[in-house]
Amino acid sequence: MLTLPDLQRSFTDFLLSAPGTGPDPTLCDAIRKRGIPAEQRLAIYKNNVYTQLVGALRDSYPAVHRLVGDEFFRFAATEYVLTHPPRSPRLLGYGDNFPGFLEGFEPAGPVPYLSDVARLEQLYLESYHAAEATPLAKGAFAKCIFEGAARASLRLHPSARLMTSPFPVSRIWELNVQSSAIRGRTQIPGGAEYLLIVRPRATVEVRRISRGAYAALAAIGQGLAVAEALAAGADVDPGIDLGIHLLSLADGETFCSCEENQ
Amino acid sequence: MARLDGIERRTSSGFGPMSAAVGIGLKPAHYHALLADRPPLDFLEVHTENYMGAGGPPHRYLTELAERYALSFHGVSLSLGGADPLCRSRLTRWRELVDRYEPALVSEHVAWSSHGGYTLHDLLPIPYTEESLRTLCEHIEQMQNVLGRHVLIENPARYLEFNDSTMAEAEFLVEATARTGCRLLLDLNNVFVSTCNQGEDAGRYLAGIPGHLVEQIHLAGHAINTVDDDQIRIDDHGSPVSDPVWQLYSDTLARIGPRPTLIEWDTDVPDIGVLLGEAECAREIAGAAPARDSTRRIHAHAS
């Protein structure tokens, strides 16, 4: 007779083992023999676990799924389940390491932008579920940034995420989450992208921003004062008026507070 | 046992525990249709785990819907039957959600889903032994104490039985209610699936469940797989409620009177009209059933 902890340990080992791996004989012996053999009864649970986890990844990464097709996605997702057994009861966050996994997943090598598309989808989900906050009004922002408040600090909206990629990742993503089918070859303007992902209200927005704005927002995200953030932006992108650029982002409700520093 | 001390018996939010209320499982695909059309439902049930994020559209929609419909919070991953301790941060988050939305019904499963730091995201079977019962009851009491109210426990769909079991499932569930003051969420599809998968009789199972312990009923569809020459029924919530399960529902209500009843559909979720049609079937059967406990019956009403 197995104790409850021993039974659940043995059951867990079986459920998380590679597909096709059978259960331990002691686990089989614990199961009542009637009709369908114990191995096949246990296999139903294992199939449920894999179906659930692979399905959760497919739901979180629809563009990746569409880019590689269902068969390859299942193959990759199954490998992910094997190497990243779920540790959190929160299924929503199960795929958080999937972008990193894909980056090192050799069979996905021919699609070099795949892990960046996955990273964008992961940030999209983070933004989707992030805490609510009232966006900073444009007037309050303009006052903060133009009226000598150079030492003020801005706080990014809790749903704001930044990412950069050497690939046109947001354009690839857009094409692959739109419902209309892509026919034949599609031309995508090449080049690196700097992205702001933010959900000021009910809808997540993916915005392409300038390299300078990206650097300034990253500095703001690290808690630097406005003047320092603008300088950081100007360093990488001296050609643009960052004040105006950030104002247009504030118009898009990217920030949620502006505090005067003493 | 005096386990109910300090645990409030709730009958708020529009319907009582013995009412003929009818609801459906809430799916994101139906947020807009529910808000726009306000179909005549008495309650919506959510998987609590899907609302554990800090904010975003799930909470925006649920907040709006909570103004129109009573809610049922149905947990799928507390692992009440697990040998490991319950996750405290998880329970705290449950409490926050219950405080925020004040659901009419709160439930979890007689199953385990976590062990040794891993979460399997499936409702796994426990042997029906005294050891399992002690563990389960300890966890139910912990959940009830944190939430400050009694909870309902649901009979799981099972694909196997353990040799070590010393009790039938019905006996095990009834004993858990006696020890903890919890009540039952009777999933009739699960009763049918589990008894068929063991070559047992669903009617006999149900005869072991006293009606006054049942405070909610679940109905759903299941799939039939064939292994060699044997059939096994899989609780996939991906099709209409089957005829034998409607029959069990009708028979059960004839015996115990109407109960808040939920239509579940979680796989290949169809247009909301399909779910509303199923809910209407349940309402017709419930309308034909005699109210067995009229003093406690509060007439249900939508919005």
Name every chain A residue with its beta carbon within 8 A of the beta carbon of B234.
Answer: 44
| Count of A-B CB contacts under 8 Å | 136
Report the residue from B60, B122, B162 with minimal CB separation from A31.
Answer: B162
Summarised one tens digit per residue, pLDDT across range A57-79 is: 999 999 999 999 999 999 999 99
B42-85 pLDDT tens trace:
999 999 999 998 888 899 999 999 999 999 999 999 999 999 99
For an interface test with B, which of A13, A36, A87 has the most B Cβ atoms less than 10 Å from its Cβ? A36
Judge whether A163 and A189 are in contact, CB under 8 Å: no
State residue B295's pLDDT score.
Answer: 37
What is the ipTM for the molecules in this complex?
0.90
Confidence of residue B292 (pLDDT cuts 50, 70, 90): low
pLDDT at B1 (0 to 100): 31
pLDDT surpassing 80 at residue B89:
yes
The partner residue sitting opposite A53, judged by closest CB among B121, B126, B162, is B121
Query: Do B57 and A128 count as a contact with CB atoms less than 8 A apart?
Result: yes
Give the one of B113, B198, B227 whose C-beta lies nearest to A34's C-beta: B198
pLDDT given at position A92: 83
Residue B159 with chain A: CB contacts under 8 Å: 41, 44-45
B119 vs A53: CB contact, 8 Å cut-off? Answer: no
**Which of B55, B77, B159 comes nearest A44 by C-beta?**
B159
Confidence of residue B2 (pLDDT cuts 50, 70, 90): very low
Cβ separation A29–B234 shorter than 8 A: no
Of A134-143, B178-187, B282-291, minimum mean pLDDT range: A134-143
B161–A31 CB contact, under 8 Å: yes
Chain A: nearest CA to B72, how far in angstroms?
19
Taking CA B183 as the corner, what is the angle to CA A48 and CA B19, rounded to the nearest 5 degrees?
100
pLDDT of amino acid A182: 61
CB contact under 8 A, A15 and B122: yes
Q: Which of A136-150, B49-63, B251-265 has the lowest mean pLDDT?
A: A136-150
Which pLDDT does position A147 carry in this prediction? 67
**By C-alpha distance, which of A154, A137, A138, A172 is closest to A227?**
A154
pLDDT digits (tens, 9 = 90+) for A155-213: 899 999 999 999 999 999 999 997 665 666 677 777 899 999 999 888 899 999 999 99
Question: pLDDT value at position B291?
Answer: 61
CA of A135 vs chain B CAs: smallest distance (Å) = 14
User: Per-residue pLDDT averaged across A211-223, rounded?
Assistant: 91
Residues of B in contact with A45 (CB under 8 A): 122, 124, 159
Higher local confidence (pLDDT), B107 or A135:
B107
- Average pLDDT in the A28-53 region? 95
Looking at per-residue confidence, does A181 or B215 come out higher?
A: B215
User: Does residue B5 have a pLDDT over 50?
Assistant: no
Nearest to A87 among B79, B118, B159 (CB): B118
Each residue of B142-168: pLDDT tens digit? Answer: 999 999 999 999 999 999 999 999 999
- Residue contact B115–A11, C-beta within 8 A: yes
Q: Is the confidence at residue B23, as pLDDT, over 90?
A: yes
What is the average pLDDT value for chain B, to the nearest integer? 90
Residue A134: its pLDDT value, please? 84
pLDDT > 70: what percent of chain A?
A: 92
For A47, which residue in chain B has the nearest alpha carbon? Answer: B122
Q: What is the mean pLDDT of chain A?
A: 89
pTM of the model: 0.90
Query: What per-residue confidence (pLDDT) applies to A71?
Result: 98
Residue B12: per-residue pLDDT: 43
Question: pLDDT band at residue B133, thresholds of 50, 70 and 90?
Answer: very high
Q: Looking at residues B34-42, what average pLDDT do you find?
A: 95
pLDDT tops 60 at residue B300: no
| Nearest-Cα residue of chain A relative to residue B131 | A4
pLDDT for residue A261: 62
Q: Cβ of A8 and B82 within 8 Å? A: yes
| Res B4: pLDDT | 35
Segment A116-137 shows an average pLDDT of 93
Nearest to A12 among B49, B120, B228 (CB): B120
Averaged pLDDT for residues B245-252: 98
> Which residues of chain B neighbour A158 with C-beta distances below 8 Å?
54-55
Whole-number percent of chain B with pLDDT over 90: 84
Tell me what pLDDT residue A148 has.
56
| Nearest beta carbon to residue B83 from set A5, A48, A86 | A5
Contact B120 A34 (CB under 8 A): no
Q: Which of A4, A50, A91 to mutate to test the interface with B (most CBs of B within 10 A)?
A: A4
* Residue B3: per-residue pLDDT: 34
b/e for B8-22, b at 16 or more Cβ within 10 A? eebeebbbbbbbbbb
Half-sphere exposure of B130 (CA within 13 A, CB side): 0
